[in-house]
Amino acid sequence: MESALRLFAALTLPEALVDRLVSLQRILDSHWPARSVRWVRREQLHLTLRFYGNVPSEEAPALTEALRVACAGTRPLSLAIAGLGAFPNTRRPRVLWAGVTGDLEPLERLEQRIQSATAAFGDHRDTRSFQPHLTLGRIGGDRERQAAPPPNARWDQIENDLVGSWTATAVHLIRSELDPAGARYTTLGVAPFPGV
């Protein structure tokens, strides 16, 4: 097998919305103990639709074409970022996230078509159901995970705040290159929605 690429399919965000999410991360960071949360870098803020894991490099064009086929029946999606949450829950959070609202039914249908059209690609098999969200940060080690969120984390006050909205017009096939400083992302292909 030729060299493998670590790939995923995602909806990207406009820069103005990414700016707002970074501001939200700063607000949240001021309410958590220092260095207890590893905040996602701005270039990593996106809505993942499918993670493929390792894909042989020669299969990337076919994967892009499969994404284009999956996107053929999708109109542009009106989506918004609103609300905060945590996996597995807000009492013992491991992952802090911002919620996605708007055209969720068409988004879920798109995600299902992508899963079906691209099932043969990659070595990663995810059995979890699709829960649209943007990961903002990950709680540090075991000690931090065992602690409840600080009382001034303000979950209840910003839980339903609208961060911003955007219109998604394409799915991007993105390469993730792991690096000690954090993953580097490169778009390898774009699957536009019809009429865009």
Q: What is the CATH number of the domain that holds 65?
A: 3.90.1140.10
What are the pLDDT digits (tens) for 89-141? 877 889 999 999 999 999 999 999 999 999 999 998 877 889 999 999 998 76
pTM here? 0.88
Only one residue has tokens 């490099």, namely 57
Q: Are 95 and 85 in contact (CB under 8 A)?
A: no
- Count of domains observed in the chain: 1
pLDDT band, very low/low/confident/very high, at 145 (cuts 50, 70, 90): very low
Question: What range defines the domain where residue 49 resides?
Answer: 4-192
* 43-81 burial code (b ≥16 CB/10 A, e <16): ebbbbbbbebbebbeebbeebbebbbebbeebebbebbb
pLDDT of the residue at 83: 87
Distance CA 55, CA 175 (A): 10
Burial class of residue 37, CB neighbours in 10 A (0-12, 13-18, 19+): buried
pLDDT band, very low/low/confident/very high, at 196 (cuts 50, 70, 90): low
